[in-house]
Amino acid sequence: KPAVPLRAPGAPVVVVAHRGASASAPENTLPATRLALEAGSDWIETDTQPSRDGVPFVLHDRTVTRTTNGTGAIRKLTSARLTRLDAGSWFARKYAGTRLPTLAQQLAYVRRHNGRVLVEIKGAHTKTQILAVVRVIRAQRMTGRVLVQSFDEVSLRRVRQAAPELPIALLRTTIDRDPVAVSRRLGLAAYNPKGSALLTRPAVVARLHAAGVAVFAWTEDSPARWKRLDTIRVDGIITNRPADLVHWRNRQV
């Protein structure tokens, strides 16, 4: 089973920039990715969804309406149309003209800067759509530098089938009665719960680690939460404020 390295004793918590440095730049764009990597983030969390013609793009919402100057469901828009959208003006004038990245562009950028990508399969993906994501990861030679996560178990199974070499993670808003059993059933490299839910069941972190499963908690922006999650030894914290988390972490060791 492909794994992600677990946090070693004494090692600092890993910083995962949620949609890039999304408090400082337009989420899920290359400028947000650049800021996050410059700040020292270890991983960039990146949502992916296919265009109408099957090209994996980087976008969180089901529609492009909130984060671009266009409207409509991404799955109904062609890649030609999507690449012409402005994905920066909504955030700040200085980001006008920022493009919606394809997953290939995002992975190429992160690889050039020696980062890692937590790729979230957003919404149900067909086998063909999963294959398109897998092809991009392989073509960008990012197999050893990605963790593929989803709330959607069917999509994760499809990833496992299409690409047994890729580590996968399950996203959860609540903690399963037996997270280790769930991890074994799905062949998970990581179990990635909502931070507040995890803090109600802190003992599951050690149990998952004993089973060789990493834990990345989302999405936490306050030092009080970082402290509690660090204390229960989560492997990574997913945050909108990666620069602040990097500074905070560097003061803990």
Closer residue to ligand G3P (CB): 18 or 228? 18
Task: Give the chain's end-to-end CA distance (angstroms, integer).
Answer: 31
b/e per residue, 59-84, with b = 16+ CB within 10 A? bbbebbeebbebeeebeebebebbee
Active site positions, annotated: 18, 60
Phi, psi of 40 (to 5 degrees): 100, 15
Which of residues 219, 225, 230, 232 is near ligand G3P by CB under 6 A? 219
The burial class, CB within 10 Å (0-12 / 13-18 / 19+), for 93 is exposed
Q: Does 190 bind ligand G3P (CB under 6 A)?
A: no
Contact positions toward Ca ion, by CB under 5 A? 47, 120
- Least Cβ distance, residue 240 to ligand G3P (angstroms): 9
Q: Does 63 bind ligand G3P (CB under 6 A)?
A: no
Q: Does 171 bind ligand G3P (CB under 6 A)?
A: yes
Q: Does 220 bind ligand G3P (CB under 6 A)?
A: no
Distance CA 16, CA 219 (A): 9
- Least Cβ distance, residue 206 to Ca ion (angstroms): 26
Q: Is 176 helix (H, G, I), strand (E, B) or coil?
A: coil
Closer residue to ligand G3P (CB): 51 or 149? 149
Q: Does 47 bind ligand G3P (CB under 6 A)?
A: yes
Residue of 172, 146, 145, 170 whose CA lies nearest to 157: 170
- Nearest to Ca ion by Cβ — which residue? 120
Q: Which residues contact 223 (CB under 8 A, 6 or more apart)?
A: 244, 248
Which of residues 43, 91, 191, 218 is near ligand G3P by CB under 6 A? 218
Out of ligand G3P, Ca ion, none, which partner does residue 219 contact, by CB within 5 to 8 A per kind? ligand G3P
Residues near ligand G3P (CB under 6 A) are: 18, 45, 47, 60, 120, 171, 218-219, 238
